[in-house]
Amino acid sequence: MDLRTIFNSFGAREDYRQIIEEFNDFIKLYEMALLELQSDIEIIELEWQTRYEYSPFEHIKTRMKTPQSLHKKIERKGVPFTIEGIRDNIFDIVGLRIVTSFEDDVYKIYELLKGRNDLKIKRVKDYIKNPKPSGYKSLHLIVETELILSEGIRWVPAEIQIRTLAMDFFASTEHKLQYKYNTKELSQEMKDELFEVAQASSQLDEKMTKVRNTILID
């Protein structure tokens, strides 16, 4: 395909160019927030390691929502196709996932985040206490992170998912299966099997916590 067609179409339409520039500026804000949030979390992790020689963090993963995925979500939710529509309705353009070793670490990290002045927790969904019908477990926070710009302070929304390695194993693998086979096609039998995998993952978490508690008591 000749890409010149695309480039020419951008240049040819002044009104398009303006919209694209406005959209790019809007998305840049989220990119900056992602950098800010990521470094905040990495500093917390380092501080924890320095102070306790143990860190509840197993690993951290960040992502920006792709334009394709943003497009799909806007359509699915019936959000107006405007910058204001996206700003007021889509809160997971910035995504950060914190994976921990133990289940109580999830809540330790949550408490820590709650205490920060540069983070506002707007919504909490506890899918650990109330798992999804699929068996999915995770603690989801919709937050606003403080972004200090030369023009002033901006609070930018982000989604933080906190879960254990075992929960992450289930979620990531199940997500891949959904993509490969398209969930609507998954038979009840497959869903039941996946649910069993989720239960088994939860048992791993329980067993690990038991082992750790025994070690701590000894």
Parallel, antiparallel or unpaired: strands 57-64 and 139-149: unpaired
Q: Which of the listed partners (ligand GTP, Mg ion, none) does 40 bind, with a CB threshold of 5 to 8 Å by partner kind? A: Mg ion
> Can residue 175 be called a binding residue for ligand GTP (CB under 6 A)?
yes
Rounded to whole angstroms, the Cα distance separating 89 from 93 reads 11
Catalytic residue check, 159:
yes
78 to 97: interface string for ligand GTP, x by CB under 6 A: --------------x-----
134 binds ligand GTP (CB under 6 A): yes
**Residue 112 beta carbon to Mg ion: minimum distance, rounded to whole angstroms:** 13
Q: How far is the CB of 85 from ligand GTP (least distance, A)?
A: 15
> Residue 103, interface with ligand GTP (CB under 6 A)?
no
Q: Does the footprint of ligand GTP cover residue 63 (CB under 6 A)?
A: no
Structure tokens at 4: 């010149």
Q: Transcribe the chain into DSSP letters.
A: --THHHHHHHHH-HHHHHHHHHHHHHHHHHHHHHHHHHHHHHHHHHHHHHHHS--SEEEEEEEEPPHHHHHHHHHHHT--SSHHHHHHH---SEEEEEEESSHHHHHHHHHHHHT-TTEEEEEEEETTTS--TT----EEEEEEEEEEETTEEEEEEEEEEEEEHHHHHHHHHHHHHHHHH-GGG--HHHHHHHHHHHHHHHHHHHHHHHHHHHHHH-
User: Smallest distance, Å, CB 200 to ligand GTP?
Assistant: 15
Q: Which is nearer to ligand GTP, 145 or 161 (CB)?
A: 161
Q: In this structure, are residues 114 and 5 in contact, taking their beta carbons and an 8 Å threshold?
A: no
Q: Per CB under 6 A, does 207 bind ligand GTP?
A: no
Q: Which of 140, 154, 155, 169 binds ligand GTP (CB under 6 A)?
A: 140
Q: Determine if 118 is a binding residue for Mg ion (CB under 5 A).
A: yes
Report the nearest approach of ligand GTP to the CB of residue 91 (Å). Answer: 8
The listed partner (ligand GTP, Mg ion, none) that binds 118, CB under 5 to 8 Å by sort, is Mg ion
Q: Which residues contribute to the site for Mg ion (CB under 5 A)? A: 36, 40, 118
Active site (catalytic) residues: 159
Binding residues (CB under 6 A) for ligand GTP: these are 92, 125, 132, 134, 136, 140, 171, 174-175
